[in-house]
């Protein structure tokens, strides 16, 4: 059974987000990428950092996670980027057909 997911990734800026989105789409590792501005606060090396980032929310399949991670590692500027997978428990029938058609086997 095909298991779809959302992948979440923050990027340093719009340029990095656009490059990452384009690469993942061209390789059919994701079917859709949404970009949103994100104000982030997080712990890094013992202190709290606050920055502006771009959040990517991508539609994909669970079995493609490792390939997505490898591609992101080639493109991302962070020492420790956070790529997260969120399983999709239900999806509309037409969206399921679209995802199956657009994601590589």
pLDDT at 30 over 90: yes
Q: Which two tokens stand for residue 21?
A: 């989105």
Mean pLDDT value across residues 49-62: 97
* Tens-place pLDDT, residues 10-24: 999 999 999 999 999
Q: How far is CA 88 from CA 5, 91, 96, 102, in A?
A: 5, 7, 11, 17
pLDDT band per the 50, 70, 90 thresholds, residue 1: confident
Helices (H), 1-105: 14-26, 65-75, 93-102
In the chain the domains, ranked by start, together with CATH numbers, are 4-102 (3.30.70.120)
pTM of the model: 0.93
């Amino acid at each position: 059974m095909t298991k779809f997911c959302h992948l979440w990734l923050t990027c340093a800026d719009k340029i990095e987000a656009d490059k990452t989105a384009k690469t993942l789409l061209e390789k059919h590792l994701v079917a859709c990428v949404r970009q949103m501005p994100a104000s982030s606060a997080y712990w890094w090396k013992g202190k709290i950092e606050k920055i502006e980032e771009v959040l990517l929310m991508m539609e994909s399949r669970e079995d493609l996670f490792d390939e997505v991670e490898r591609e992101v590692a080639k493109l991302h500027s962070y020492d420790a980027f956070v790529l997260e997978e969120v399983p999709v428990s239900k999806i509309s029938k037409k969206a399921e057909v679209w995802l199956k058609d657009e994601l590589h086997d």
